[in-house]
Chain A
């Protein structure tokens, strides 16, 4: 158990270290998400009522779209440097490789969200810094990285990678996007845990199902 965690962490840490050096993925995710937010401030007349109505949807649509930009890069580096073979040759099981890569993507999304959320709060004039938001964000980006890692690994060798990934990723994560949007809508309308509990349970179920299934299925993706 301890060894497995060490493997997962060292793969995640490797991605994080690469990211600290070249700052490619996090900047791409945060930058893209911020641009979507800014564009929506022009697209919708943002008085207080409208902001509450459309704000949660805009936020999570921006995060989902921006996440794809980051996911496209997550395995591209491994393929460009032929380091995926290195990972596959390492004497570790494939599900740990999956969890390590997913951990990396989770951390990127988390950092990007730390940049995006304050700007969202400012632009849409909504109060989002509550414990509920931490839970919503945590559950949502776990699900995004669980499904995203799987599909990013699958589409990395496809001719039209940039087209294929969103087509696979977005429909599968729609339940999670609904969850995030609805719970955030409860939150900005001043409601609390009990109102969003059903949604949060759904998010937990989604995360558990896709983490387990993806980890199990990942060996079929890597084998040649």
Chain B
């Protein structure tokens, strides 16, 4: 029997403690960046969240591949769990990025290669999750979903290359304070980013783990229902 949430789990505790430390570092300890001002602090969230969404995509494509190869249920559970968490992180990444870009680049959005790639990948993994929601459950759904996960991974370098070429042809309009100045932070930035990244990575793993266990519990229920169903049918026949 899998417990969905255990309160003595080290991971959520470590994540919560580190998150507190990161918050203190971000809002109290680190000095304000001189060119960009206070809004620069959002990068200490944006970068770790973006890392989390990248991690999600890596795990989805890796476990999709493993599912197609080994046909083991656990890879499918891992893929769906990290896709869901990854999409949430991806949405937050786009949102925090835009909030930062508006004052610093003077635009909400621009055709820069990394932005375009992130947005298209976000859409691919939304489609992945929608496909899972619409398709009747069973081995076929898992197989087809794994194919979408794999196609998304194969497409990523092509999208990035195309977006890069496109950005060269249409140079992104960036005029704000970050356009032509060096950061005033130096090594302070590294420490804060590292702490926040570790905190968000722990959170990511914890969320994926919980979702994986929920998924496992759902499968167990289906299995139990099927087992009791056949038992009852057998009992009905014998009486």
A contacts, CB < 8 Å to B: 147, 150, 154-155, 157-160, 163-164, 167-168, 170-172, 174-175, 178-179, 182, 198-199, 202, 205-206, 209-210, 213, 217, 220-221, 223-224
Interface residues of B in 176-225 (CB under 8 A from A): none
Q: Does B159 contact A (CB under 8 A)?
A: yes
Q: Does B144 contact A (CB under 8 A)?
A: yes
Give A147 to B144 CA distance when docked, in angstroms. 14
Q: Are A198 and B165 in contact (CB under 8 A)?
A: yes
B46 CB to closest chain A CB (Å) equals 22
**Partner among A158, A167, A168, A202 whose Cβ is within 8 Å of the Cβ of B161:** A202
A179 CB to closest chain B CB (Å) equals 6
Q: Are A213 and B154 in contact (CB under 8 A)?
A: yes
Q: Does B140 contact A (CB under 8 A)?
A: yes
* With known contacts A160-B134, A172-B151, A182-B169, A154–B144 Cβ distance under 8 A: yes
Give A167 to B134 CA distance when docked, in angstroms. 12
Chain B residues closer than 8 Å to A209, beta-carbon distance: 154, 158
Q: Does B127 contact A (CB under 8 A)?
A: yes
A45 CB to closest chain B CB (Å) equals 21
Q: Can you pick out 7 interface pairs between chain A and chain B where the beta carbons lie within 8 Å of each other?
A: A168-B127, A171-B120, A175-B161, A198-B165, A209-B154, A217-B147, A220-B144
- Count of chain B residues with a beta carbon within 8 Å of a chain A beta carbon: 31
Chain B residues closer than 8 Å to A155, beta-carbon distance: 131
Q: Are A217 and B163 in contact (CB under 8 A)?
A: no
**Partner among B123, B134, B162 whose Cβ is within 8 Å of the Cβ of A175:** B162
A98 CB to closest chain B CB (Å) equals 12
Q: Are A168 and B131 in contact (CB under 8 A)?
A: yes
B172 CB to closest chain A CB (Å) equals 15
| Chain B residue nearest to A198 in the complex (CB) | B165
Q: Are B134 and A159 in contact (CB under 8 A)?
A: yes
Report B160-172 CB contacts with A as 1/0, cut-off 8 Å: 0111011001000
Give A29 to B32 CA distance when docked, in angstroms. 56
Q: Are A202 and B165 in contact (CB under 8 A)?
A: yes
**Listed residue (A150, A163, A174) with the most chain B CB atoms within 10 angstroms of its CB:** A174
Q: Are B147 and A158 in contact (CB under 8 A)?
A: no
Q: Are A158 and B120 in contact (CB under 8 A)?
A: no
Q: Are B134 and A202 in contact (CB under 8 A)?
A: no
Give A183 to B154 CA distance when docked, in angstroms. 23
Chain B residues closer than 8 Å to A174, beta-carbon distance: 120, 159, 162
Q: Are B127 and A171 in contact (CB under 8 A)?
A: yes
**Partner among A167, A172, A198 whose Cβ is within 8 Å of the Cβ of B126:** A167
Chain A residues closer than 8 Å to B124, beta-carbon distance: 171-172
| Chain B residue nearest to A177 in the complex (CB) | B162
Chain B residues closer than 8 Å to A213, beta-carbon distance: 151, 154
Q: Does B152 contact A (CB under 8 A)?
A: yes
Q: Are A217 and B150 in contact (CB under 8 A)?
A: yes
| Chain B residue nearest to A161 in the complex (CB) | B134
B165 CB to closest chain A CB (Å) equals 6
Q: Are B165 and A164 in contact (CB under 8 A)?
A: no
**Partner among B127, B144, B162, B166 whose Cβ is within 8 Å of the Cβ of A221:** B144
**Partner among B130, B147, B163 whose Cβ is within 8 Å of the Cβ of A178:** B163
Interface residues of B in 104-155 (CB under 8 A from A): 120-121, 123-124, 126-127, 130-131, 134-136, 140, 143-144, 146-148, 150-152, 154-155
**Partner among A158, A171, A202, A217 whose Cβ is within 8 Å of the Cβ of B131:** A158
Chain A residues closer than 8 Å to B143, beta-carbon distance: 220-221, 223
Give A135 to B126 CA distance when docked, in angstroms. 33
| Chain A residue nearest to B162 in the complex (CB) | A175
Q: Does B68 contact A (CB under 8 A)?
A: yes
Q: Are A224 and B140 in contact (CB under 8 A)?
A: yes
| Chain B residue nearest to A182 in the complex (CB) | B169
